[in-house]
């Protein structure tokens, strides 16, 4: 798929408000609503737009603790660990990493008690290093990293 600056602008505007009407989006980038709709469907069909989502206030939901874990696995076979973290709602991101450790997890929990329970279960799979976030200072939209 050819990807041009207009497609990039559409993606930027959709990340700011995924509920924007095509007509309103078109007014901002000087296209008709129909032309915007065709481009959006093309982005969806080509898998560039995978889904539409919302941003929630995690603190209002009681998710007061954000932790970052580096996991050093005990065993070479990681399949059971991967199935485990896939089922755990506390795990909001998981990355296989190079360098120190095998995996980097971002977790969200409601209390220190829940954090401790989760960490005890992680010990079955490997050792960990934990860092607790004291303040989120930046949340970046991945599109802002794209250079045109």
Cβ-contact 102, 72 below 8 angstroms? yes
Spatial distance between the Cα atoms of 140 and 17, rounded to a whole number of angstroms: 15
The conformational region for residue 88 under phi > 0 = left, psi -120 to 50 = alpha, else beta, is beta
The domain over range 5-45 is classified in CATH as 3.40.190.10 = no
Write down the pTM of the prediction: 0.76
Spatial distance between the Cα atoms of 24 and 9, rounded to a whole number of angstroms: 13
DSSP for 110-131 reads SSHHHHHHHHHHHTTTEEEEEE
Mean pLDDT, the chain cut into blocks of 10 residues (148 residues total): 89 91 95 96 95 85 93 96 96 96 97 96 97 88 57
**What local confidence, expressed as pLDDT, does residue 10 receive?**
94
Domain ranges of the chain: 5-45, 59-132
**What local confidence, expressed as pLDDT, does residue 142 receive?**
65
**What local confidence, expressed as pLDDT, does residue 93 receive?**
96
> In CATH, what is the architecture of 59-132?
2-Layer Sandwich (3.30)
Cβ-contact 122, 91 below 8 angstroms? no
**What local confidence, expressed as pLDDT, does residue 148 receive?**
43
Collapsed DSSP state (helix, strand, coil) of residue 39: helix
Torsion angle of C-alpha atoms 47, 48, 53, 54, degrees rounded to 10: 180
Spatial distance between the Cα atoms of 130 and 69, rounded to a whole number of angstroms: 5
């Amino acid at each position: 798929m050819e990807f041009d600056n207009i497609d990039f602008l559409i993606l930027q505007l959709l990340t700011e408000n995924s509920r924007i009407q095509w007509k309103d989006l078109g007014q901002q980038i000087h296209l008709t609503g129909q032309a915007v709709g065709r481009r959006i469907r093309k982005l969806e069909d080509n898998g560039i737009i995978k889904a539409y989502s919302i941003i929630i206030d995690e603190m209002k939901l009681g998710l007061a603790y954000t932790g970052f874990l580096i996991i050093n696995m005990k065993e070479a076979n990681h399949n059971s660990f991967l199935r485990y973290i896939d089922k755990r709602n506390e795990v909001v991101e998981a990355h296989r990493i190079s360098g120190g450790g095998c995996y980097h997890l971002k977790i969200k929990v409601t209390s220190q008690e829940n954090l401790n329970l989760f960490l005890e279960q992680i010990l079955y799979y490997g050792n960990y290093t934990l860092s607790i976030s004291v303040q989120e200072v930046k949340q970046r939209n991945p599109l802002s990293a794209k250079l045109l």
